[in-house]
Chains A and B, each alone.
Chain A
Amino acid sequence: MANAPASTARATATTGAGEARKAAAGDAAARPGEPRRDRRSKRERQGAAWVFLSPWVLGASVLTLLPMAVSLYLSFTDYNLFDPPSWIGLRNYVQMFTEDPRLLRSVGNTLLYVLFAVPLQLALALTVAVALKSMRRGRNFYRSAFYAPSLLGASMSIALVWRAIFNDGGTVDNLLAGVGLDMGGWVNKPGWALLSVALLTVWQFGAPMVIFLAGLQQIPQDLYEAAAVDGAGRWRQFASITLPMLSPVLFFNLVLQTIQAFQVFTPAYAVSGGRGGPADSTLFYTLYLYDRGFTASHMGYASAMAWVLLVAIGIVTAVLFRTSRSWVFYANEEVR
């Protein structure tokens, strides 16, 4: 890798030292132009930005925007995959909210899943990442071992393993029976199956963990050294250095895991054999969407479902972005 120019390194050192920083109000949106920047350079930056963006622009327009536009159009049609779509206006949307009890159930399941899986997975990932950071021996080993469950994805074999472990007579059942809680399995009970699917997601906490680790890696070490000199203990260091410095990454994990949790599909599809059973208890929104679109061939309806989900996730994400202004700290925003 190329060495950073000398003045760059100096710049980092000065930033690192400034420790009592308040989290700046940061937002993804562009802020109005900066002072002391001449117009030529501004135009050059504009042009440069588009060069950097060109692959994305191409991909986003042809492979993303175009298909998205098509699916938006399909959401206003009756489309069975085989015949040309026919325009029916808002009927799909009306039907969703008025005459589809199974859809409402899937919304409930999904919310329950999001509220359970996201906080638990993130807490676990953060705890393990921070613990790993403070370990001196065997860090490589632990990191690999903790990531191991995430290597598999929700394949059919892991689904079978999950069913074996959480079934009647399976390991979990036997352990619980050992302490007097004989429940006869989880995956096969309407009240508990959702928990077993959520645990599969939590179990695969490797992705957010690695992202946290990468984020921790980016925190300049001298911040801790300075704090230690000032007599700050472990908790103080964690609260006043680690958390704020990690906040962009924490925010990323929170947003992405939430978005992904709303779209949960594979674990439930695999564990329940595609049906979202028992008794619709793991029928998540996208699972039902898939069922409507591909099994029942109502692609128009499925597209409408997809766009409603997009709006719902959009609102949640927007709220998260709004709150991020008060707790996410970006080093590249100026202190105000």
Chain B
Amino acid sequence: MPAPRTKASCAAAVVLALSATLTGCGGGASASGEGKVTLRFTWWGNADRAARTNKAVEAFERAHPGIDVQTSYSTYESYKQKLATQAAGGDVPDLIQLDYRQISQYAGSDVMLDLEKQRKRLPTGKMDPALLKTGQVGGVQYALPMGVGTQALAYDKVAWREAGLKTPRAGWTWDDWAKSLRQLKRERGSYAMTDPGSMEDWFEIWLRGRGKQLYGKDGQTAFAAKDLAGFWAFTSKLRKEGLVSPASDTTQMAGSVEDSPMGREKAVAEFNWDAPSAGYEAMYKDRLALAPMPSGEDGTPGQYFKPSMLLGIAAGSSHPKQAAEFIDFLLNSDEAADILGVDRGTPVNSRQRQRVLPKVTGFQKQVAGLQTSLRGKLEDPPAAPPRGDNGLQSTFQRDYDHVSFDKATPLQVAEDFLTEARTELRP
């Protein structure tokens, strides 16, 4: 057997060597040999989006032989965790897809590149200015919207007709909505849709219908406890009447379209974003229809056009020029528009929109129809939610459980929520 002491000192040397490497080397650059540039592009979505995105990426690589785009995708929940870890680890991919709710977080911390620097490569003239603003934080454009979506009521046409209800039209109110639910309940004997009280998204629309906002310009909450308590009292009344789902069903909402009361055929309508509502199609086929969200009592619409997702460049990217070229290709070129269609929402570029919309079929046609019918009637989208919103959204849902399981009154819970919001939104 060799002398143990030698072996021990060997091991110590390895430890030293490794710690030296650890402290010594900096972050690696992503440029590969032969002058070829590699861009890393990460996004979330499903299999269909993956197929379309890869096709678009191939088309881009054909047009730009010097650029290699490495894509990565996962589902939204996984994506959030992965991207946050990458950001914390100083390893943000060159091109990142962001949700409206993430942008303040990423832009506010110098993770994102100010797109002004690549302005020449990124023409935005054909994009709706109000929508472009959704990619701004503090007046700086950090990301561009990749598509447009809006909130909607997805419902089973047949069930509504059988209950003797008319097709809901833009301008119908929350009161009309409640009356319809009552009618449906009378006809069906059971609740018609998920209790909307647990989602901050639907509260926002209710609030906007009353001329208020979720967040003010200062990044603080812009509503009072009694506003939230009012919304929750309203939904609680419906719940107790049996018009919307009971607490035990509401609490199980995991987020996916299929895994909701309507997706499980326990209900006949659901609030959702327009494009993802396609998930109900497997169940409802051509019975599936879309209607605008209810508006305030005076007809003020609460819903708005929202960027379905945004695309930006990492501040630490070694190839911002090429990354900008890629964004330009995805958002502005005819070729990409033909491949991507309305997968990431209706194109923001008006020329592409006109190119793509006439070609859509099936459920996407309904989405297009809804958006067209609302264009020009809605108020501007709110500024991107402040960075604490991510945590608050989950708190909102948790807190509502305490209302719906009758553990506390709406006002008590609303006050608790605002207390937490003040801590979360601390500048």
Contacts and interface: CB of A to CB of B under 8 A. Distances in A.
A46, A50, A275, A292 interface centre (most CB from chain B within 10 Å): A275
B391 interface: yes
Contacts of A61: 15, 19
Nearest to A46: B4
Interface stretch (A183-191, A250-258, A304-312, A327-335): A183-191
A189 B106 contact: no
A141 interface: no
Interface of B is mostly: helix
B252 interface: yes
Given A187-B252, A188-B248, A297-B84, A291 B394 contact: yes
Given A81-B84, A81-B87, A278 B390 contact: no
Given A279-B401, A297-B390, A188 B249 contact: yes
A273 B15 contact: no
Contacts of A163: 252
Interface string A265-298: 0000000011111111001000000011011111
Interface string B12-53: 001100110010000000000000000000000000000000
Interface in A21-60: 44, 46-48, 50-51, 54, 57-58
A294 B108 contact: no
Contacts of B407: 190, 279
B391 A297 contact: yes
Nearest to B18: A62
Contacts of A167: 252
B7 A278 contact: no
Given A82-B108, A294-B84, A189 B248 contact: yes
Contact of B4 (A44, A184, A190, A280): A44
A194 interface: no
B236 interface: no
B11 A50 contact: yes
Interface residues of A, number: 43
A197 B391 CA distance: 24
A83 interface: yes
Nearest to A278: B251
B405 A296 contact: no
Interface residues of B, number: 45
A102 B253 CA distance: 21
A46 B252 CA distance: 57
B218 interface: no
Interface string A157-193: 0001001000110000000000000001101111000
B391 A168 contact: no
Contacts of A168: 248-249
A286 B222 CA distance: 32
Interface of A is mostly: loop
Contacts of A242: none
B198 to A, nearest CB: 10
A82 B11 contact: no
B424 A54 contact: no
A163 B395 CA distance: 23
A278 B401 contact: yes
Contacts of A80: 105, 109, 387
A81 B106 CA distance: 10
Nearest to B397: A275
A276 B252 CA distance: 10
Contacts of B105: 80, 82, 297
Contacts of A276: 398
Contacts of B18: 58, 62
Contacts of B262: none
Contacts of B111: 82
Nearest to B416: A101
A291 B387 CA distance: 15
Interface string B82-102: 001001100000000000000
A163, A283, A295 interface centre (most CB from chain B within 10 Å): A295
A299 interface: yes
A290 to B, nearest CB: 9
B398 A51 contact: no
A106 to B, nearest CB: 11
Contacts of A50: 4, 7-8, 11
A278 B11 contact: no
Contacts of A48: 4
B10, B80, B87, B391 interface centre (most CB from chain A within 10 Å): B391
Contacts of A46: 4
Contacts of B5: 47
A51 B4 contact: yes
Given A47-B5, A80-B109, A81-B84, A296 B388 contact: yes
A62 B106 contact: no
A62 B7 CA distance: 20
A58 B254 CA distance: 42
B401 A82 contact: no
Given A62-B18, A80-B387, 8 more contacts: A62-B15, A81-B84, A82-B108, A83-B109, A274-B77, A292-B391, A295-B391, A297-B105
The 10 A-B pairs at the shortest CB distance, nearest first, are namely A296-B391, A47-B4, A82-B109, A273-B254, A54-B11, A188-B248, A278-B251, A279-B401, A50-B8, A81-B88
Interface of A: 44, 46-48, 50-51, 54, 57-58, 61-62, 80-83, 102, 160, 163, 167-168, 184-185, 187-190, 273-280, 283, 291-292, 294-299
